[in-house]
Amino acid sequence: MAATQRQRKRSCRSSLRARSGSARVRSGSTPRCTRCLSIGTRDIRLTTRYAEDDLSGTSLFSTMHEAGHGVYEHGVSATLEGTPLASGCSSILHESQSRLWENVIGRSLPFWRWFYPRVQAAFPETLTGVSLERFHRAVNVTRPSLIRVDADETTYGLHIILRFELEQALLFGGLDTSDLPEAWNTRMRDLLGVDVPDDARGCLQDVHWAGGMFGYFPTYQLGNVVAAQIWERLLLDLPGAYDQIERGQFDEIHAWLRDRLYALGRKFTPAETIARVAGGPIDPEPYLAYLRDKSAALTRA
């Protein structure tokens, strides 16, 4: 099953403009994107993971997430190569692109109208008789979960709130690391109503704290907010974007993002860059409207 999933993801990644000549993908326990700094933006390296027992899209979405990071780095203007400006502008903007390609595009019904027949053909024993609408609902179902990277769009922010609160308590609030598992389990129950069976699926599930990346988690949720803002602005210029997605055509969408965001690298501050691509400062309203509209559409389906 993993080999077939790998083939489908290669097809999807190529369509999203993650060119095989510049991007290398390997499997790993933790999906991530990096680039070879000595070569620059033409060497993008991704890792993803494969779930043998899951065809609802979890591993595909991790690939799309990392491809979003990759197309951002790859899209930085060649004129900036060899300078400190030749990279994504900020973690928030980077996560806005990973979340935009993963969720705003990747979990949309137009995307699955294009891509689902390919997935269905690859796994006929499992998906024969499963309608497009049923599959689309399955990859968008709202359901509290143990694992952040598997969370749906609605409950994802609660996973970030949990980590942000605990980071503050660890750094400034007197929480000892020995008490972290208990504090984690209590807040998971409070926020999501989920009982944590072990630390591997609890406070040890992410690599960030072990790697010293305190303060990074909020960039994921802020990335969700900025992604919705950017998408709202893109639709003003490309009102047929969803029609293009349904045909598997991403060139115009990618070009719009490249010209207004990716190519800029670090030429401007994060606030200036967000204002240029989204038309204003960070605003949660487009994101909240996106969640409300999507939830309403799925409820009617």
Assess whether 73 carries a catalytic annotation: no
- Pair 30, 10: CB distance under 8 Å: no
**CA atoms lying within 13 Å on the CB side of residue 217:** 22
Which ranges in the chain belong to alpha helices (H)? 2-15, 58-74, 91-99, 109-122, 124-127, 132-138, 156-172, 180-192, 217-237, 241-246, 251-260, 270-278, 285-300
Q: What angle (nearest 5°) sits at the alpha carbon of residue 227, between those of residues 18 and 286?
A: 150
Parallel, antiparallel, or unpaired: how do β-strands 32-35 and 23-27 relate?
unpaired
Choosing from 66, 73, 102, 153, the catalytic residue is 66
**Cα 174 from Cα 19, distance rounded (Å):** 48
7 three-state secondary structure: helix
Which residue do the tokens 């979890």 mark?
58
243: how many CB neighbours lie within 10 A of its CB? 11
Q: Which residues pair with 55 in a beta bridge?
A: none
Q: Give 83's contacts (C-beta < 8 A, 6+ positions apart).
A: none
Q: Considering only CA atoms, which of 230, 278, 231, 264 is closest in space to residue 90?
A: 264
Report, as residue numbers or ranges, the catalytic residues: 66
